[in-house]
Chain A
Amino acid sequence: MTDFGNATADLRKRLWEAVLDGDAYHATDVLHQGLDAGLERETLLLGVIGKVQEKVGREWAANRITVAQEHAATAVNERALTTLVPPAPAPPSAGPNRSRGRGRVAVACVEGEWHAFPARLVAEVLQLRGWQVDYLGPQIPGPHLIAHLHHTQADVALLSTSLPTRLPAAHAMIAACQAVGVPVMVGGRGFGVDGRHAGAVGADRWAPDARAAAAALEAGIAAPGPRAARQVVDDLPHLADQEYTMVVKSRSQLIERTLAGLEEHVPAVRHYTDTQRERTAEDYAHIVDFLATALYVDDAGLFTDFLAWTADVLDARSVSARCLVPGLHLLGRQLQDFPRATILLRHGAAAVAARPDSDPEDSP
């Protein structure tokens, strides 16, 4: 390992301790020591802050930190990040004569996405590399993004989501950007670890990380042609079968009937408290949302991956994943007239049932 490699590993360890401790001052100190030691800002952003943030997510999923620790760690990491990057240069007027150095890009999260950290890192890295970056953050409604693109004449829009369930929203946003002549690059786990959903929802590019995003921008992305204005079903003809539409529209009903079925078939559920019942309902809401998304992009892997991840999270909390199987069967029974949904649910239930059970005692 190089000296810098050692140095970043050491900084990562110390930053992790600081964010876990909720200590923004210490976290800031750690990063500034990295700067003093001659590390590049980009290395600190991606090799230290980004890695620590990934660890925050992993540790939560593995049940090694609480939700409060996770939120506090994220806030602290973001505070430290803010002191690391120099303030953005005053944006030149949006008039026709603004200087175009490397170009101007807009970075935003897909509507409904709350995990803004990866987008923020990309925005900072691009800014360090000389791009004029408008970071619009999470929670930006589609119309605001489009108004921003009209106003600033951005060269490229970058959209991020960590949640596959945001793919339909991403699709709408991507099409809207392209319809106003702005190409779209996407990133984040929501598009699949290999970016396989990026093409399905019409993105011009997919980037696995901030450096790849910068490289793609430097290589140039052509503006979409006049035929970019299109309907959703033009990209995804299978949507004409209405399965996605029906699942989304009957979401509440599906969840309600599944819960009723569980009470009937699984004795333990009858003794749930109101809170437990509500949380179970939320779990099935997630399952239905992922089912709908898998129907949307027509990718069975999206649904089974989600179930596998859910099962891992349950295992980490000593809950048997097999408790999901009866619910999946109940959903399948309600959707038996929909061939694609039926296959997804059948495969999903089989995959969960085939998992080695860590704690059979817990199975309801």
Chain B
Amino acid sequence: MLVVDRAGGIVEANDAARTVLPDVTGGDGPYENLPDWLTEAHRHMTGGLGATWAEPPSGAIGGRHFEAHPRPGADGDVAWWLIDATDRHLAEETLRREQERAAILSEVSSTLLSSLNVPRCMEVTARLATRHLADAAVLVAPAQGRRHPVTYAQAHGPAVRVTRAVDPATVPGLAEALQGFPPVPTRWIDPGAIPAWAIPEGFEGPVGSVTVTPLPGHGVPAGALILLRSSTVRAFTESENVFARLFAARAGAALSAARLYTEQAAVTATLMQELLPPALGGVHGVDYAGGYRPAQDSERIGGDFYDVHPGADPSQESLVVLGDVAGKGLDAAVLTGKIRNTLHALLPLAHDHQHVLNLLNAALLTSRHTRFATLVLVSARHRAGRVRLRLTSAGHLPPLIVRADGRVEESGTRGNLVGAMPAVSVRTEETVLAPGETCLLYTDGITEARGGPLGGELYGVERLKRALAECAGMPAEAVVERVQMLAAQWLGQGRHDDMAVIAISAPRPRPLTVTGGDMHRGHSGNPGRSGRPGEPGVPGDPGTPHERHGRSA
């Protein structure tokens, strides 16, 4: 306990106070030998402000931490009770630092978790490292061939990513970190020996201290992180190195997950390429359009399939195939791939549909798959403005033909499904499309779509026919889109089977030779899908009680 008068002179100090502040009573002038924080607190008290602190004043005295509790006395004297709060202060400091680090790690985790893109993960790691750990960070990823992807970041700057041939052995500890050895102690790394490539361009001042931390991955290193501080900033402490390792562990896990995802996605994309439905357009004077929606929206493929195999020249028939394998999902999709390959091989025999179907049937019966399939074969040839079709259904829904006057006919072709019985017997039917007429092939996913305004009702063939009656004269892609759209609207959010549609149309006569015969379009693998009108000023689309336009809702 100390008593200090208004002017800062020490009036009294008890034994305990003299133990803590041995020189306190020996001074002459005001505030002599009092710690600065206590002087300031006393002036605050005597300056008329009183004891208005939320927390008592506190500060260091001789390596320990004290709180000072004032008791105002007579004549402006203040008795200061000094309480040793060193342990509590230490505990609070530690808690604060740990809370800060936990917050940083949480931010790091959620930022890194959000991306499964490897380059972005590397950028984010380097940027976060400069925000919380160092003045600059260099992330060196494992070599791809002889070159390493290297990501540079500096505080308050963007991350820069390059791939360059660098020798990890030139940075002490880097080669070891990339091989998964334990980190080399910071004090062993000579900042002057850091090669220029390992210092971000524009780094200010000489390098003062360096740490190299491995990024642990899934059993193999995901890279290494070089942290740099300029010589004007204090060196890395052991506690900071520990924290850097925690940071690196999270970054390494995120990078490994991203790398794994990228590899898996690449494998999937490659394998799926063969199974995706083809982009269609005009071939030899006949327009084709197709649309596909797999049962599981998370998949791109399923048990329905279609193909258009163009004839060798315009005088030859093109073969259109649309089918449905029992089952859905990847297993069904694999079988559609086999069927499509088999049919491709059988193309030279396509003049005889029954023969082709029997060969396919035999192939399916001898394969290890126990599934069967239904399909439609259509041979199409353009001749003098019209399109001649030969249609054969093998256990599939009969094709629908939309005439120019809006009549919708059901093709009379019938036959057995393939892959179930020793032989397939079918009846092929022929028809001719006049300009503007369309033949529609579809799978039962369309007609068995369950939904409607009241829910649970089948879409059905009759509704499909009514919808098609409105499609007279429409281009092939518009017919396909309309059918898909109506089915999707009917479903709402409901579950559904695979849905495939293909339209074969006789184009309206062209006045001149125009370039637009083939409508393929390569926008990053997506065929330019036919759009629907923009309709500004149209907040929605109710249709009317007397007339249905079946637009999106």
Chain A residues engaging chain B, CB cutoff 8 angstroms: 22-26, 28-29, 50, 53-54, 56-58, 60-61, 66-68, 70-76, 78-80, 82-83, 87-88, 91, 96-97, 112-121, 123, 133-139, 141, 143-144, 147, 149-151, 153, 162-165, 179-181, 189, 193, 225-229, 251-252, 255-256, 276, 278-287, 289-290, 302, 305-306, 309-310, 313-314, 317, 319, 323
Contacts and interface: CB of A to CB of B under 8 A. Distances in A.
A260 to B, nearest CB: 11
A165 B493 CA distance: 13
Given A87-B522, A88-B524, A284-B453, A72 B543 contact: no
Contacts of A70: 533
A153 B538 contact: no
B316 interface: no
Given A278-B452, A282-B548, A79 B531 contact: no
Contacts, number: 273
B474 to A, nearest CB: 5
The 5 closest A-B pairs by CB, nearest first: A57-B535, A117-B531, A116-B531, A281-B453, A252-B455
B508 A22 contact: yes
Contact of B543 (A23, A151, A255, A282): A282
Contacts of B111: 181, 225-226
Contact of A71 (B474, B511, B512, B540): B474
A193 to B, nearest CB: 8
A293 to B, nearest CB: 9
Interface residues of B, number: 79
Interface in B501-553: 508, 510-512, 514-516, 519, 521-524, 526, 528-553
Given A229-B110, A285-B453, A306 B539 contact: yes
Given A113-B552, A141-B297, A162 B538 contact: yes
Interface string B135-165: 0000000000000010000000000010100
Given A74-B478, A97-B163, A115 B533 contact: yes
Contact of B120 (A53, A54, A181): A181
A22 B404 CA distance: 14
B524 A96 contact: no
Given A67-B470, A141-B297, A252-B455, A319 B546 contact: yes
B528 A115 contact: no
Contact of B534 (A66, A117, A290): A117
Interface of B: 107, 110-111, 114-120, 124, 149, 161, 163, 261-262, 265, 293, 297-298, 300, 452-456, 470-475, 477-479, 481-482, 484-485, 488, 508, 510-512, 514-516, 519, 521-524, 526, 528-553
Given A163-B553, A181-B120, A286-B553, A56 B533 contact: yes
Given A139-B293, A252-B455, A317 B540 contact: no
A280 B423 CA distance: 49
A276 B545 contact: yes
A120 to B, nearest CB: 5
Contacts of B454: 252, 255-256, 281
A60 B533 contact: yes
- Kindly name the residue among B298, B452, B514, B533 whose own CB sees the greatest number of chain A CB atoms within 10 A: B533
A226 B104 CA distance: 11
